[in-house]
């Protein structure tokens, strides 16, 4: 089953020229795909539309085999397609790392013991157990980025949408993040200004140009 299909998406902010003007893409299970384009081209807007956080002027969002239009339609989509925000501080809001990671599973109805087991499993898988009981707002930028990824993986999604995941990372943390992401089974849709990171993680690249997605280089 195709994970995500955006068909002829149009979108404009009030009083402004269209940001998206017929953008289309398809993401299949296990596929790694990058989106490139200048600031303001509409890359983050496209992610918002894919998850129902913004409503297109026209066009279709087909996720997990179903046409999604209403807010209720997107509840399942947000469970199955995880978004890693550009700024970790927009995503981390609990006092400790363990609480941040447990929040998603608890919100899905898992009991506390199950949620904490998921916390330990995800942190072990990412070799981040040393951060388990740390105070979230005292983490370094690189640590916050890795914990943000852990919070999304705790939901056991089928796909990841990554919005500038290397933003403000030093070379060491970027290499660590790449290593983790390369080892994941999920499909990945990546927005990144870093050509080397795109090439290493999701070499199939589309460019968002004049509101449309075109094959890179064309």
What is the per-residue pLDDT across 88-145, written as a single tens digit (0 to 9) for each?
898 999 999 999 999 999 998 999 999 999 999 999 999 999 999 999 999 998 899 9
What is the C-alpha to C-alpha distance for residues 198 and 192, in angstroms, rounded to an integer? 7
Share of the chain above pLDDT 90, in %: 85
pLDDT score at 218: 46
In the chain, the domains with their CATH numbers are 4-215 (3.40.50.300)
pLDDT in tens, 33-68: 999 998 888 999 999 999 999 999 999 999 999 999
pLDDT score at 217: 60
Q: How many CB atoms lie within 10 A of CB 208?
A: 22
Question: Going along the chain, which residue ranges are E strands?
Answer: 4-11, 20-27, 32-36, 58-63, 66-67, 81-84, 159-163, 187-191, 204-209, 212-215
Query: Structure tokens of 167?
Result: 């933003």
What is the C-alpha to C-alpha distance for residues 137 and 207, in angstroms, rounded to an integer? 35
Q: Which of 91, 103, 97 lies closest to 134, judged by CA? A: 97
Does residue 87 register a pLDDT over 50? yes
pTM of the model: 0.92
Q: Which of 20, 30, 4, 18 lies closest to 213, judged by CA? A: 20
What is the C-alpha to C-alpha distance for residues 78 and 188, in angstroms, rounded to an integer? 14
Q: Which of 48, 43, 40 lies closest to 17, judged by CA? A: 40
What is the C-alpha to C-alpha distance for residues 212 and 37, in angstroms, rounded to an integer? 10
3-state secondary structure 52-77: CCCCCCEEEEEECCEECCCHHHHHHH
Residue with tokens 């807007």: 45
pLDDT in tens, 2-38: 999 999 999 999 999 999 999 999 999 999 999 999 8
């Amino acid at each position: 089953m195709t994970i995500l299909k955006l068909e002829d998406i149009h979108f404009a902010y009030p009083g402004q020229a269209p940001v998206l003007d017929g953008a289309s893409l398809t993401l299949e299970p296990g596929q790694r795909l990058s989106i490139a384009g200048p600031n303001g081209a509409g890359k983050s807007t496209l992610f918002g539309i894919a998850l129902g956080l913004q409503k297109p002027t026209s066009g279709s969002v087909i996720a997990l085999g179903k046409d999604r239009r209403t807010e209720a339609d997107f509840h399942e989509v947000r469970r199955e397609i995880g978004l890693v925000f550009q700024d970790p501080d927009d995503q981390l809001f609990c006092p400790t790392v363990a609480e941040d990671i447990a929040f998603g599973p608890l919100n899905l109805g898992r009991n506390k013991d199950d949620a904490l087991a998921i916390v330990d499993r995800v942190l072990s898988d990412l070799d981040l157990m040393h951060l388990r009981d740390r105070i979230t707002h005292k983490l370094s930028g690189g640590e916050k980025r890795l914990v943000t990824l852990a919070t999304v993986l705790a939901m056991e999604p089928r796909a990841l949408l990554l919005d500038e995941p290397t933003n403000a990372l030093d070379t060491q943390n970027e290499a660590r993040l790449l290593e983790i992401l390369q080892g994941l089974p999920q499909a990945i849709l990546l927005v990144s200004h870093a050509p080397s990171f795109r090439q290493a993680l999701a070499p199939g690249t589309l460019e968002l140009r004049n509101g449309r997605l075109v094959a890179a280089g064309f």
